[in-house]
Structure 1
Amino acid sequence: MTTLLDYCSLVRSKNAGPFTLTFDFMCHDKDAYDALVATGFLNKNLFATLYDTAPDKVLVVNHPLALAVKVSLPRPTVQGDLHDSDCYAGQQYAPLMDMEVAAQRTH
């Protein structure tokens, strides 16, 4: 099974202010970056489903020079709210770690 750690040396989530959650996927090298992007795994629908938001609220930005992908979306709960279970959003990436990332398709 191929996971994000096969492509990335760093996967993290964090706050981007009290209303926004952001994820960073930093790849091992250019080949890993190109392969990860080619899978289409990091897409708006995946994050919308996992974090209960509309796909049009999800921003996926590929940074080829940094060999990274950044994803931002509204926080499910405002930072510091009584129901906020992860104030710094540092553990929101966890559901992604055990998911299988499909290998690159050949055409």
Structure 2
Amino acid sequence: MAEKGPTTLADLSLEVRSKNAGPFWVTMELFLRDAEAYRIAADEAFLDERTIARLYGVDPDGVQIFRIPALNVVKISFPRPVSQASLRDRDVHSGQHHVPLAALPVPSV
């Protein structure tokens, strides 16, 4: 039997998605499965602007993180590396940006 890897944000979530937030921004949302999963994912020592900057190659000063405990949701926004639909844009709808976030290993649960 194959050994399971580390627990990731995807494992703690009902859904992890990304979407276009206009021609210059990307927004990602973590819909956590319960309050305990939210506590882990929303911990600023784990998920902060520097972590997002490292995952996406963006300036940490441009990253915005919104923690919404009543909904067990963490929302993350940052400027798109290139404007939407420009010649170098490889994901017009930002539909694939969530993958590195979903695969992020969480501290021991």
Q: How does 1:28-67 map to 2 (within 5 A)?
A: 28-38=33-43, 40-67=45-72
Q: Is the 8 A contact 1:21 1:89 kept in 2?
A: yes
The one-letter code sitting in structure 1 at the alignment partner of 2:59 is: A
SS of 1:41's equivalent in the other structure is coil
Match of 2:22 among 17, 20, 25: 17
Please name the residue that 1:97 is paired with: 102
SS of 1:60's equivalent in the other structure is strand
SS of 2:71's equivalent in the other structure is coil
SS of 2:7's equivalent in the other structure is coil
Quote how far apart the aligned CAs of 1:39 are: 6.8
Residues in 1 aligned to 2:102 and 2:67: alpha-carbon distance in whole angstroms: 19
Structure 1 residues not aligned, in runs of 5+:
none
Residues in 1 aligned to 2:103 and 2:72: alpha-carbon distance in whole angstroms: 22
Q: Is the 8 A contact 2:10 2:103 kept in 1?
A: no
Kindly indicate whether residue 75 of structure 2 is the aligned counterpart of residue 70 of structure 1.
yes
User: Moved runs in structure 1, 4+ residues, more than 6 A?
Assistant: none
Structure 2 residues not aligned, in runs of 5+:
1-5
> What is the total number of aligned residue pairs between the two structures?
104
- The alignment's TM-score, normalised by the length of structure 2, stands at 0.86
